[in-house]
Amino acid sequence: MSLRLRIAVETPQHSGLAGALDYASDQALAPGTLVRVPLGRREVCGVVWDPADEPAPTDAGWAVKPVAAVLGGLPPLGPSWRRLVSFAAGYYQRGLGELALAVLPPELRLLDDAALERRRRRKRRAATAVEADRPPPLNPEQAAAVAAIASALSAGDGLATTQPPPLLLHGVTGSGKTEVYLHAAAQALAAGRQVLVLVPEINLTPQLTERLARRFADRRLVTLHSGLTPAQRLQHWLAAHTGEADLVLGTRLAIFASMPRLGLIVVDEEHDPSYKQQEGARYSARDLAVWRAQSERLPVVLGSATPSLETWQRADEGRYRRLTLAARVGAAALPRVRLVDWNQCPKPKGPPSAIAPPLLDALRLRLQRGEQSLLLLNRRGYAPVLHCTSCGWKSGCPHCSAWQVFHKAERVLRCHHCAAAARVPQACPQCGDLDLHAMGRGTERLEEQLAELLPGARIGRIDADSTRAKGELQARLQAVHAGEVDVLVGTQMVAKGHDFRRMTLVAAVNPDGALFSSDFRAPERLFALLMQAAGRAGRDAAMGPSEMWLQTWHPQHALYAALRDHDYPRFAATQLADRRSAGLPPFASLALLRADARDGAVAEAFLTEAGRQAEARAAEAGAALIAYPAVAPPISRVADTERRQLLLESPSRAALQHVLRAALPDWHALRSQHRGLARWAVDVDPLAI
DNA sequence: AGCACGCCGACT
DNA sequence: GTCGGCGTGCTC
């Protein structure tokens, strides 16, 4: 007897094989079982999928091959996991098997039954007999939030018929969101459920990891993120899958963790762009968390001081329930926001100063008082471009439409978009002039200038360059915590997550860039970054009042005015009004079709035709859709490849989904008509357009 | 994506 | 005469 099985097979995106494939088996295999199957002339991994609603045609134009091997030792992946993967593959327009295998630990496919048995027998480390932290008392707002989540938890127990809505936990930094998560988690754990906590980047939030581990010392907590070794990732994933782990703390990929007893999902800093995967299947872990929670009828808590406008709008519409924490725990006051108006500052005779006189005075005052300051500058390197004053040459990257950044200490010019690096020329490569000039300012130069402006101050720097070596980030953070640094210079990586208790001043050196950016989400990101940065200061009420300084040419800008008042709702309302009148998300659904080719015209021709096909499909279905002309993104050439993109916009998410699904086969077929096209991809709900 | 098959230059 | 360059085509 031979059974017919549907199997999600690891077929690459470009195969055009989106769904499950048919294979034969002489034994019945439960959906969710891992198998190896022949595909073409090789053998690949697959997951037994649910039988199709309609039986496969018997006269199919291919020979059905038998399953090659079964990994019987692993408990099958459950129906809720399969639903999530199915949904994500469909929504983000990727192959089912491609996505299914991409979100499983890579080591799993190497695991035969014998290896699995060895792993299972290996004695798991006994839980350390550490006394769990006693939870602190909650303030009334926190208690109300916990009660709301608790009622959603019991509603999700299958007893109630109503679905708990997603919960937006809106609270400024320091208002005690984490304590709400911990209490909610405790309740879910007490009910015998597992808890999934998502964070943007795990090494930026060691404090949350520690707090979870201490509070739930008697429970098994595992982490899931790309920094784990393959063996660790497998081990942690298996602990979640078998239900041995009670808590899973992870980055975006953890949204796909198989958790049979899942009872609560928390998405911390839900607005953070790192929740959107930027290559391969471009999924949003936050959006999938909401979908997964609805699908499994469990509560999801989205926490942020500056929620994404999508989330905020849904709360305004009543689709999400908003829980607000307005008070800062421990009576710590919010930092006072001070704007330095460059227009009011006397022009120095020499080159423009990095730090305006009033800010410099404020820094000196902190030095005298033995307090720490943080200066934020979102630009690493010494200077963004090297410039010849006599002929006008600039250090352009030979492979990209971008400047090579001057890294002084390393003595290299480095492109931040490709691997290209060159030694710093002694003389202008174009005219031979020796007077090469570093234009603009990066963190490395700011560090150097501060050393001159503040003699005797201990300056530290934390950015991707200074923390490249393993352990260097932790070492530098430790030095700051230990008080070995007076003034810390950093990129946005320090604005997130870390509490610096002795820090009483945070300054954004040059935040204006995002005010007039072509990226429609730039103001939202800037506001979130500045709010988050402001939250770094003044966490300790005993340190006295803290300040957030902004150096700007536009002190009247509405964004800064809202920031000065710590008024996120006002900022969101004005942004949402702009978005509504511009027909942008959350009032429209977007997808971006991207194409790369050596020759930009090839990518453009492909996109133009693909856009025409999409509009034809939309017309067929009576779906409202606009395909905009193909354009070059701000950095149009990277590593000698020209990039182009085409925006698809619809007032309806469902209509856009329908068109994408219908047009995808057209686009696959179109590829062969455009010789020289390197690759193409769809980005559903893109962050930047 | 792999991994084929398929037609044109420098070697034992 | 072959070994092999990577162009293009297929995978239940």
A233-245, pLDDT tens digit by residue? 999 999 999 999 9
Report the distance separating Cα A34 and Cα A48, nearest Å. Answer: 6
Instruction: Quickly state the pLDDT bin for A82 (edges 50, 70, 90).
Output: very high
Report the distance separating Cα A162 and Cα A153, nearest Å. Answer: 12
DSSP annotation of A492: G
**CB < 7 A to strand C: residues 174-203, chain A:** none
- How much is the pTM? 0.94
Q: Is the predicted pLDDT of residue A183 greater than 70, yes or no?
A: yes
Q: Is the predicted pLDDT of residue A112 greater than 90, yes or no?
A: no
End-to-end CA distance of chain A: 54
pLDDT mean over A494-500: 79
Whether nucleic acid strand C comes within 7 Å of the CB of A38, the answer is yes
The pLDDT, as a whole number, for residue A496 is 78
pLDDT mean over A210-222: 95
How confident is the prediction for chain A on average, in pLDDT? 91
The pLDDT, as a whole number, for residue A639 is 86
pLDDT mean over A32-61: 83
Q: Is the predicted pLDDT of residue A61 greater than 70, yes or no?
A: no
Whether nucleic acid strand C comes within 7 Å of the CB of A65, the answer is yes
The pLDDT, as a whole number, for residue A120 is 66
Whether nucleic acid strand B comes within 7 Å of the CB of A551, the answer is no
Whether nucleic acid strand C comes within 7 Å of the CB of A62, the answer is yes
Q: Is the predicted pLDDT of residue A124 greater than 60, yes or no?
A: no
pLDDT mean over A13-40: 90
Q: Is A304 helix (H, G, I), strand (E, B) or coil?
A: strand
Whether nucleic acid strand B comes within 7 Å of the CB of A106, the answer is no
Whether nucleic acid strand B comes within 7 Å of the CB of A679, the answer is yes
Could you tell me the CA-to-CA distances from A447 to A56, A206, A458, A529, A680 in Å, in that order?
66, 26, 10, 21, 41
pLDDT, tens digit (0-9, with 9 covering 90-100), for A252-274: 999 999 999 999 999 999 999 99
Which bases in strand B are touched by protein, i.e. have an atom under 7 Å from a CB?
A: 1-4
A83 CA – B4 C1', rounded, Å: 35
A352 phi, psi to nearest 5 deg = -60, 140
Antiparallel, parallel or unpaired: β A589-597 and A677-684 = antiparallel
Q: Is the predicted pLDDT of residue A195 greater than 70, yes or no?
A: yes
Instruction: Quickly state the pLDDT bin for A420 (edges 50, 70, 90).
Output: confident
Could you tell me the CA-to-CA distances from A338 to A40, A168, A352, A548, A671 in Å, in that order?
65, 29, 21, 6, 54
Q: Nearest 5 degrees, angle CA A630-CA A635-CA A637?
A: 85
Whether nucleic acid strand C comes within 7 Å of the CB of A72, the answer is no
The pLDDT, as a whole number, for residue A225 is 94
- Cβ neighbors of A474 (< 8 A, separation 6 or more) are none
The pLDDT, as a whole number, for residue A625 is 98
pLDDT, tens digit (0-9, with 9 covering 90-100), for A456-493: 999 999 999 999 888 898 899 999 999 999 999 999 88
A595 CA – C5 C1', rounded, Å: 27
Instruction: Quickly state the pLDDT bin for A327 (edges 50, 70, 90).
Output: confident
